[in-house]
Structure formats: structure tokens, C-alpha cells
């Protein structure tokens, strides 16, 4: 694993920090543009490795893509729902779960063979959760370990609508089914136990799909065509969360993060930080391309309170839990995260990895089957235990969480896994080093 050094901050952060574009919305804008009719213009696409995997796969499927000014603007020329060509080669999704799961849904309805693979982390992640509902719809999908792991092979199938009760809360699974449903005979109904992020519902509706939603039920039917759109991608709250956390734990800080996505299915981190006593103000609220955005203003609290996070809140902050663990480790008292077993199936087993990370930082932590109990240091700096090794992982969000913790450590930290950060946040190291030099 590559490493980079982060030194403790001996001054508050008083800064405006711009974070990159939202990963989930970036993937979807490229995929939906590719199956629409006409020219979809995407402003502020996230040009990270994960989204570039999606973009490259659309090109391998015969879609014309043009990139302007270093990804400031990207145009995708869609020729309709049935315009893909059979890819000549294997489609490589890299580290990206969103790419492999959404595209599996889409390709299960095509009239040709395709093979999807990814890196070591992706090859270990569960794919049965998409294979199962798509197979019920009539898709012909095969994979390693009894069709539960990638590489995935898809051959032509004739799809029909189903009613499907999701056993896990997963927007990737929901979106894969919705994409397949565009091609199926009859309507598809999806029932979620806990509501997951709703970008597919919002964006497909904007592209012209007819979707009805009531509470946690979605009904989507087949479509003849979708219409190209212009999309402005907002800043990613999952990336903003690292600097919201820094502002919460470095005393005296005032951090402004502009134009952040504050969709209620994604903004659980704001609710929880507020509960812990952090002042988070939202200004300049508006809607951009069907998604709510706001500028965030974070002020360090005089006392950071422990809290419990569970149940339907978990899907609303699922990607923010590693960095939330770092904030909890600075709070006064015991914090608890439960009902979060899904963390075990992310880019790494994030429960296990964070337990090791927190122990290495000198924090008392207890591993639960579905979460963690964390005894906060009440503002005392983290002290590295030289006897514990950093966990080996393929996980961008763990590497960034360690880097933020390092700002509040007694000594400089060699942050492991820097090569993974570019899957979602290519400018992260640059921002961290700027913060270390001076008040920016």
C-alpha cells in the first residue's frame, strides 16, 4: 500500500473547502444519458477512477462520449434504449460497486453477451443480491461461486416485471432492477424495508420515465424511449463529510463547504453531527438538476457528545460511517452504531477495518456483528499504538478517515492506502496538505 504523511494540526481550520462532484449522481448521469435519445450534457462530472470505469464501459458499448476542459463538461450521445453494440472485450468495473451492479441490470436486457469484472476488492463483494432479482425477471446471469461473485457473464434474456421485496437496503440493487424494468414486459414493483438513496428515481423521472412512489414502494414500467437532459452534478456529501468531521474535531474551526448535495436520503451525517452538538448551518439552499443543494457551514462545538446511530438512519449515512467513527472517537462518552451489517460488504469490511484503525489510534472499541461501540477520548488527541499494524484494505473511505484522524494525533501519521483515494476524491491529498501549511 502507498502511504502519505499527515501531521497534527496546531491551528483551527478556517477555510472554504470545495469537494468533488457526487459519485452516485455522476455514474447515473453517464448511464442514463447513454440509453436516452440525444445529447446529454454533464457539468461537473466526478472524474474519479470509479466514474471513469462507467464512462469507459459506455464507450465499449458503442456510446459516443466527448470530454471538454478536463471533464468540466462531458457530453454523452445516446441513441436510445436499444442502441448498444456487443462489447468486444471484458468490461472492467475496477473498484466500483455502483458500476458493476447498475450495468449488470442494464446489460441483462440486451441482446448480446457481456462479461463484467473488477479489482480484487470487487471480486470479493456480493453480487447474488443483483443476480437473484434479475434472474427472477428472466435474465440469464452467471458468476463465480454459484452466481454470487464477479466475474459476471450475461447472455440474452427476455425480461418480465416482478414484485420484489428487498432483503437489504441497497440503492445499487434497486437501481439495477429499475434499469432492467425499463425493458421488461409489464410493471415492476420494488419494496424497500428502509429507504435508500433515491437518485435513480429522481433522475430517471427527469429523463422521462414514468415512476410512481409511495412510502417505500416504487412502481416502474417499460419505456419506449428516454430523452436526453442537461445535468449539473452537485458536490458529494460523502466527500464533504471528511471536512465536516475535521471541522467537528479540530478546536475553534469554521469550515464552509459550498454547493453540497443535501438530498434527505443522503444527509444523515448532518442530522447525527447536529445531535452530537456540532453547529451545521445550511445556506443558499436551492434545487439543481432535481436534487437539493446547500452551502454547509460547520463550527466546532465546545463539547462533542456521544450518540447512538441505528435503524432507518443507517442507509442515510452508510458511506459516512468510517469518518463518523473518528468523530465518535473524539466525543465524550460511549457512542454506538448498530443495524449496519451492510458495512461488512463495502470496499472492505468496514466494521472490522475501523475497529483495527481505532485501536491503532488508542481508542477503546468493541466490535459488534452489525456495528461498533466506541469509547470517546473527550477531545484528547489520538495516540498511535506502534504494536498494531494498519489493516490492509482497498478502501478509499478508510484511508481518508485515517488522514482526518491524523490531524488530531500526537505525532505525524503515515496514512496507508493513498492509492485508493482517487476512486472517489482525487484532490483529497492536495486539500489536506494545504490545510497543514496554513489557514486557507
Closest CA to 199 of 65, 291, 336, 92: 291
Nearer to ligand S3P, 26 or 300 (CB): 26
Nearest distance from residue 49's CB to ligand S3P, in Å? 14
Q: Kindly state whether residue 320 participates in binding ligand S3P, applying the rule CB under 6 A.
A: no
CB atoms inside a 10 Å sphere around CB 416: 21
Task: Report the relative pairing of strands 3-6 and 211-214 from DSSP bridges.
Answer: unpaired
CB of 130 to ligand S3P, least distance (A): 10
Residue 95 touching ligand S3P (CB under 6 A): no
**Closer residue to ligand S3P, CB minimum distance, 340 or 403:** 340
Q: Does 53 bind ligand S3P (CB under 6 A)?
A: no
241 contributes a contact to ligand S3P by CB under 6 A: no
Question: Is the distance from CB of 356 to CB of 390 less than 8 angstroms?
Answer: yes
* Residues that contact ligand S3P, how many (by CB under 6 A): 11
Q: What are phi and psi of 148, to 5 degrees?
A: -115, -10
Cell of 205: 423521472
Which of the residues 22, 319, 385, 387 is marked catalytic? 319
Q: Is 134 a residue that touches ligand S3P (CB under 6 A)?
A: no
> Cell triple for residue 342?
451492510
| 395 is known as an active-site residue | no
Angle at 34 between CA 126 and CA 260, to 5 degrees: 70
Q: Taking CB under 6 A as the rule, does residue 93 contact ligand S3P?
A: no
Q: How far is the CB of 318 from ligand S3P (least distance, A)?
A: 5
Please check whether residue 328 is in contact with residue 373, taking contact to mean a CB–CB distance below 8 angstroms. no
To the nearest 10 degrees (0 to 180), the angle between helices 268-275 and 321-328 is 10
Reported as type and span, the H/E element at residue 353 is helix 350-360
Binding residue (CB under 6 A) for ligand S3P from 119, 319, 320, 429: 319
Decide: is 98 part of the binding site for ligand S3P (CB under 6 A).
Answer: yes
* By CB under 6 A, residue 423 contacts ligand S3P: no
Q: Residues 148-187 vs ligand S3P: string with x where CB under 6 A?
A: ----------------------xxx--x------------
For ligand S3P, which is the closer residue by CB, 194 or 295?
194
Q: Compare residues 98 and 330 and give the one whose CB is closer to ligand S3P.
A: 98
Residue 203 touches ligand S3P, criterion: CB under 6 A: no
Q: Which residues contact 227 (CB under 8 A, 6 or more apart)?
A: 36, 37, 38, 207, 208
Crossing angle (nearest 10°) for helices 97-107 and 128-136: 20
Of the candidates 24, 48, 235, 356, which one interacts with ligand S3P according to CB under 6 A? 24
> Phi and psi for 167 in degrees, rounded to 5?
-90, -25
Taking every pair of Cα atoms in the chain, the longest distance, rounded to a whole number of angstroms, is 62
Query: Do residues 355 and 372 make contact, with C-beta atoms less than 8 angstroms apart?
Result: yes
Could you say whether residue 401 binds ligand S3P (CB under 6 A)? no
Query: Whole-number minimum distance, CB 199 to ligand S3P, in Å?
Result: 7
Residue 102 or 357: which CB sits closer to ligand S3P? 102
Are the C-beta atoms of 286 and 234 separated by less than 8 Å? no
- Active site members: 319
Q: Which residues bind ligand S3P (CB under 6 A)?
A: 24, 97-98, 170-172, 175, 197, 318-319, 342
Amino acid at each position: 500500500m502507498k502511504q502519505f504523511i499527515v501531521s497534527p494540526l496546531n491551528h483551527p481550520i478556517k477555510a472554504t473547502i470545495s469537494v468533488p462532484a457526487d459519485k452516485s449522481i455522476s455514474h447515473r448521469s453517464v448511464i442514463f444519458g447513454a440509453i436516452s435519445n440525444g445529447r446529454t450534457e454533464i457539468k461537473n462530472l466526478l472524474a474519479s477512477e470509479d466514474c471513469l470505469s462507467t464512462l469507459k464501459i459506455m464507450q465499449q458499448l458503442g456510446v459516443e462520449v466527448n470530454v471538454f476542459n478536463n471533464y468540466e463538461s462531458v457530453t454523452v450521445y445516446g441513441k436510445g434504449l436499444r442502441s448498444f453494440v456487443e462489447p468486444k472485450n471484458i468490461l472492467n468495473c475496477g473498484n466500483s460497486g455502483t458500476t458493476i451492479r447498475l450495468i449488470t441490470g442494464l446489460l441483462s436486457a440486451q441482446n448480446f453477451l457481456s462479461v463484467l469484472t473488477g479489482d480484487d476488492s470487487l471480486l470479493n463483494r456480493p453480487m447474488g443480491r443483483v443476480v437473484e432479482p434479475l434472474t427472477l425477471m428472466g435474465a440469464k446471469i452467471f458468476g463465480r461461486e454459484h452466481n454470487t461473485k464477479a466475474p459476471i457473464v450475461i447472455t440474452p434474456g427476455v425480461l418480465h416485471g416482478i414484485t420484489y421485496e428487498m432483503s437489504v437496503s441497497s440503492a445499487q440493487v434497486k437501481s439495477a432492477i429499475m434499469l432492467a424494468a425499463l425493458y421488461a414486459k409489464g410493471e415492476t414493483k420494488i419494496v424497500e424495508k428502509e429507504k435508500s438513496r433515491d437518485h435513480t428515481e429522481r433522475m430517471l423521472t427527469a429523463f422521462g420515465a414514468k415512476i410512481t412512489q409511495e412510502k417505500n414502494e416504487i412502481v416502474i414500467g417499460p419505456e419506449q424511449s428516454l430523452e436526453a437532459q442537461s445535468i449539473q452534478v452537485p458536490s458529494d456529501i460523502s466527500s464533504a463529510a471528511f471536512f465536516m468531521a475535521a471541522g467537528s474535531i479540530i478546536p475553534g474551526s469554521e469550515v464552509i463547504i459550498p454547493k453540497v448535495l443535501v438530498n434527505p436520503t443522503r444527509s444523515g451525517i448532518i442530522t447525527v453531527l447536529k445531535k452530537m452538538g456540532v453547529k451545521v448551518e445550511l445556506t443558499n439552499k436551492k434545487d439543481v438538476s432535481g436534487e437539493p443543494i446547500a452551502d454547509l457551514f460547520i463550527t466546532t462545538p465546545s463539547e462533542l457528545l456521544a450518540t447512538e446511530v441505528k435503524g432507518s438512519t443507517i442507509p442515510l449515512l452508510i458511506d459516512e460511517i468510517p469518518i463518523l467513527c473518528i468523530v465518535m472517537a473524539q466525543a465524550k462518552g460511549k457512542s454506538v452504531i448498530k443495524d449496519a451489517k451492510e458495512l461488512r460488504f463495502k470496499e472492505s469490511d468496514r466494521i472490522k477495518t475501523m475497529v483495527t484503525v481505532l485501536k491503532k489510534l488508542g481508542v477503546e472499541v468493541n466490535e459488534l456483528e452489525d456495528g461498533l461501540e466506541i469509547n470517546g477520548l473527550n477531545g484528547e488527541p489520538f495516540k498511535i499504538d506502534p504494536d498494531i499494524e494498519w489493516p490492509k484494505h482497498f478502501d478509499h473511505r478508510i484511508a481518508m478517515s485515517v488522514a482526518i484522524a491524523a490531524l488530531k494525533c500526537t505525532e505525524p501519521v503515515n496514512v496507508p492506502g493513498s492509492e485508493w483515494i482517487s476512486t472517489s476524491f482525487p484532490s483529497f491529498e492536495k486539500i489536506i496538505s494545504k490545510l497543514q501549511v496554513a489557514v486557507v
